């Protein structure tokens, strides 16, 4: 029998996507298991979900480079963590740092990200507000491969949600998150199958 595929989830915040992925793994819908949860934010909500699901969690020190950039030593630490946990696929879920070489090349084609807009529209921050201010009638989320740019890699899946008359930013974002929680485990499972 072949070895079960191993996923690492990286996040800096609440971890609602991590929760959806952990649930999918527990219910046998992920096509693999979550080996480790990694955060750069001590005490981040995502750590609670790791605990709830009995998955090892590691808090990394991003270093002092600023602007979302990770220190060289942190990238090295991340790579050796992935080796230690035999990770096949790296899943970014609200990880507020820019992943770069040598980590990027070591995991080329095996790092996914989820972004709350229909890329290439609205990369970066405050995506929902910017979409609403521009008068868009729909937005959504994008799951893509990570490359050296910010929110620029090959798009694997997009889910669209409407922006309705009288909507608040919070309401639209909640609609996007619902779509994220549905789509991310599915795309991870497809990707694992093709590794």
User: Residue ranges of the alpha helices (H) in the chain?
Assistant: 16-26, 45-52, 72-84, 103-106, 127-133, 169-193
Hey, what are 27's tokens? 């219910």
User: Between residues 76 and 173, which has the closer beta carbon with respect to ligand GRF?
Assistant: 173
Does 99 interact with ligand GRF (rule: CB under 6 A)? no
Kindly identify the residues of this chain, within the stretch 110-169, that bind ligand GRF according to CB under 6 A: 114-116, 141
Whole-number Å distance between alpha carbons of 18 and 100:
22
Told to judge if 126 belongs to the known catalytic residues of this protein, a careful annotator would answer: no
**Minimum gap (Å) between residue 2 Cβ and ligand GRF:** 30
Specify the residue, 4 or 123, whose C-beta has the smaller distance to ligand GRF. Answer: 123
For ligand GRF, the closer CB: 15 or 62: 15
**Of the two residues 78 and 119, which places its CB atom closer to ligand GRF in the complex?**
119
CA atoms of 195 and 88, how far apart (whole Å):
8
Q: Would residue 151 be called left, alpha or beta, if left means φ above 0 and alpha means ψ between -120 and 50 degrees?
A: left
HSE-up (13 A, CA, CB side) for residue 27? 10
Q: Which residue sits closest to ligand GRF, CB atoms considered? A: 94
Q: State in angstroms the smallest separation of the CB of 181 from ligand GRF.
A: 8
- Catalytic residues, by residue number, are 115
Binding site residues, ligand GRF, CB under 6 A? 11, 13-18, 93-94, 114-116, 141, 177, 180
């Amino acid at each position: 029998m072949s070895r079960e595929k191993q996923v690492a989830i990286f996040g800096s915040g609440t971890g609602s996507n991590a929760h959806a992925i952990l649930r999918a793994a527990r219910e046998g819908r992920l096509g693999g298991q979550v080996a480790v949860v990694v955060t750069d934010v001590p005490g981040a909500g995502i750590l609670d979900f790791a605990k709830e699901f009995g998955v090892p969690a590691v808090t990394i020190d991003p270093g002092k480079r600023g602007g979302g950039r990770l220190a060289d030593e942190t990238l090295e630490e991340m790579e050796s963590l992935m080796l230690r946990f035999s990770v096949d696929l790296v899943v970014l879920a609200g990880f507020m740092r820019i992943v770069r070489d040598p980590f990027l090349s070591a995991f080329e084609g095996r790092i996914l990200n989820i972004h709350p807009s229909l890329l290439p529209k609205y990369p970066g921050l405050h995506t929902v507000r910017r979409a609403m201010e521009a008068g868009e009638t729909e937005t959504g989320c994008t799951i893509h491969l990570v490359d050296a740019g910010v929110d620029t890699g090959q798009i694997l899946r997009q889910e669209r949600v409407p922006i309705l008359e009288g909507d608040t930013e919070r309401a639209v974002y909640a609609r996007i998150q619902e779509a994220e929680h549905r789509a991310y485990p599915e795309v991870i499972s497809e990707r694992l199958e093709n590794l």
